[in-house]
Amino acid sequence: MLYPSLLAVHIVSGIFWGGGAIISGFFLVPSVIAAGPGGGAVMEHMVQRKFSIWMTVGALGSVLTGLTLISIEAMNSPAWLWSAEGICLELGGLMALGAFGIGIRVQKPMVERMAAIAAEARANGGQLTDQQKADLGVARTRMARGARVASYQLLAAAVLMGVHGLVAQMALR
């Protein structure tokens, strides 16, 4: 009963995290950047709605259950780690761990920084100082790059998880 429960949590949290990250990386972040100063208000609202916290919870749910599931499989059958099925899941897990690291070390701080700059500007009559403009440019660039890389990694992880399913089906035949 533990394994199916862990698998369900892994799938649901992975869909939430991966879907949110992919939409953010390919659509939301580029749109916010294209909006210029108005994009800061969107990022500030996302911080208020705790988007980065929800993404972190989804990521943690997916990563922790994924590690637990692989550990269970490895304990039951160490040779499984070197099977085509095991390798697909391991590579997918590595991609997801990389995306998780980008989310924690790049995305979350940049979103929070952009929202703080927007709040500071609004408090000062809506005008950005030269330093705020420079900080905003750096934050936007880092956020866009991180979002794009994490999106590709999570997309690759999802593909590898799907390939795992096909490999498992072929092994049953």
Q: What pTM was computed for the model? A: 0.85
Q: Please give the share of the chain, as a percent, with pLDDT higher than 70.
A: 98
- Number of helices (H), then strands (E), belonging to the chain: the values are 7, 0
Q: Whole-angstrom distance between the N-terminal and C-terminal Cα of the chain?
A: 26
pLDDT at 41 over 80: no
Specify the amino acid at residue 62.
Answer: S
Nearest CA to 86 out of 147, 8, 2, 160 is that of: 160
pLDDT, average across residues 3-14: 94
Distance CA 44, CA 37 (A): 11
Contact 37, 121 (CB under 8 A): yes
Res 14: pLDDT: 95
Contact 46, 55 (CB under 8 A): no
Distance CA 7, CA 30 (A): 33
Quick: pLDDT tens for 110-168: 878 877 887 888 888 878 888 988 998 898 899 899 999 999 999 999 999 888 877 77
pLDDT, average across residues 41-70: 90
> Mean pLDDT of all residues in the chain?
89
pLDDT at 173 over 80: no
CA atoms within 13 A on the CB side of 50: 5
Query: Domain of 41?
Result: 2-172
Q: How many domains does the chain have?
A: 1
Distance CA 102, CA 21 (A): 11
Of 25-29, 33-37, 61-65, 105-109, which range is least confident? Answer: 33-37
pLDDT band with cut points at 50, 70 and 90 for residue 89: very high
More confident residue, 115 or 15: 15
pLDDT, average across residues 58-79: 94
Res 168: pLDDT: 72
Res 67: pLDDT: 96
H/E stretch holding 8 reads: helix 2-23
